[in-house]
Homo-oligomer: A and B are copies of this chain.
Amino acid sequence: MAPPNALIVTPRDYVFGTESDLLVLECGRTLGPVTIRYETYGNLDEHRQNAILLLHAFSGDAHAAGYHSPDDAHPGWWDSMIGPGKAFDTDQYYVICSNVLGGCRGSTGPGSTNPDTGRPYGLTFPVVTMQDMVTAQQRLISHLGIDRLLAVAGGSMGGMQAIQWSVSYPNNVAGAIVLASTARLNAQGIAFNAVGRNAIMSDPLWNGGDYYGGNTPDRGLSIARMVGHITYLSDRAMHERFGRRLQERAGFGFDFNDQFEVESYLEYKGGTFVDRFDANTYIYLSKAIDYFDLGGKYGGLDAAFTDCRSKFLVVSFTSDWLYPSYQSKEMVVALMRQEKDVSYVEIDCPFGHDSFLLETDRQGPMISSFLETVYTDVQSTR
């Protein structure tokens, strides 16, 4: 149940890309119609200068804050950071969050109907990239009547989009907040994604991606998610949370009913994930992450950042071994070489990659003070 004074939000859909106005993708293919599911919190100011676009991570969605109904058990994925007086202060800012292109939470993705066939796209859906996600978001922002965003902000895959925004639309972003992210996916990250995709594709129910309307490849998707969860936590966080405790048993039974708590946790997380996530979206989004390599794309990070006009706040976490601090530092050093306005903080926090979702005490004030600075700038140049 939502608390009595909770914010109740209603998701909305923006549909574009009909006939003359198709979305042109990085691969050269076009897509349309495209639906982008989004939510907003707070109000747009009269000068349309206080809009912040939040960019969700791999398994996130448009529902970043508040509740969909008073009966909702859980709020949006970043509710701790969004609201009156919070880091993304909805008394001051107009906060937007949309589900990415290729997603499965309301926006067009591989599970959507292909207008040419009347059937779900499946693997006929085009391979999308971070740039494509950002292009689709830009269409939404433009539709909302916003010329220049006060800020873009996201962690992990959301951080990749934030960087891509500042590179693709230098005149339309005043500030970029990049949390627990990287300018390129490393071999180890590609390797983990490859395992996840293999697990899904090895599930006989996956059926070459053509499973809609029938049984879904839940076992494969669940295993992919288990791998993901390990990479989101740290060794220490897992040790502190689960240790070597057995589930429902005091001592070893020496049979396969012996289960450690960490095993049960992962299996539970994998099992519930399949209720809200589409296996093909897992494949497409993980591929988009694999592709992400800003330096590779623009001929070096320096070249990528040359024309950027936004301020940057980059945050990494000591225990994040999926996107370790050294990857954030590579980005920060390149931004500094290009004489961009960049603040970098490494937060000592034990929660691993998930820290950006969990740590609010230190991350929150940094973000709100960064937003305040950018907002002051924007207002002074009005």
Contacts and interface: CB of A to CB of B under 8 A. Distances in A.
A263 B194 contact: yes
Contact of A256 (B192, B219, B229, B287): B287
B127 A243 contact: no
Interface string A284-314: 0001001101001000000000000000000
A239 B195 contact: no
A266 interface: yes
A324 B199 CA distance: 27
Given A204-B204, A321-B321, A238 B187 contact: yes
Interface string A224-261: 00110110010100110111100000001011101010
Nearest to A241: B187
A191 B324 contact: no
Given A190-B244, A226-B195, A260 B290 contact: yes
Contacts of A360: none
A185 B244 contact: yes
Nearest to A186: B239
Contact of A187 (B126, B219, B243): B243
Given A238-B187, A254-B126, A262-B191, A296 B230 contact: no
A223 interface: yes
Contacts of A204: 204
Contacts of A233: 188
Given A185-B244, A227-B227, A230-B188, A266 B202 contact: no
B187 A262 contact: yes
Contacts of A260: 187, 190, 194, 290
Chain A contact residues: over half helix, strand or loop, or mixed? helix
A176 to B, nearest CB: 23
Contacts of A238: 186-188, 191
- The listed residue with most B CB atoms (<10 A of its CB), out of A123, A255, A293, is A255
Contacts of A191: 226, 229-230, 238, 262-263, 266
A307 to B, nearest CB: 23
Contacts of A194: 226, 260, 262-263, 266-267
Contacts of A256: 123, 127, 283, 287
A210 interface: no
Interface in A298-341: 321, 324
A377 interface: no
A252 B25 CA distance: 14
Contacts of A267: 194, 198
Instruction: Report the 4 A-B pairs with minimum CB-CB distance, sorted nearest first.
Output: A27-B254, A187-B238, A202-B219, A194-B263
Interface of A: 26-28, 123, 126-127, 129, 184-188, 190-192, 194-195, 198-199, 202-204, 219-220, 222-223, 226-227, 229-230, 233, 235, 238-239, 241-244, 252, 254-256, 258, 260, 262-263, 266-267, 270, 283, 287, 290-291, 293, 296, 321, 324
20 contacts: A26-B254, A27-B255, A28-B254, A126-B254, A127-B258, A187-B239, A188-B233, A188-B239, A191-B226, A191-B229, A194-B260, A194-B263, A195-B226, A195-B227, A198-B267, A199-B199, A202-B203, A227-B227, A235-B324, A321-B321
Given A28-B254, A187-B262, A188-B262, 5 more contacts: A26-B254, A127-B254, A194-B260, A198-B270, A204-B204
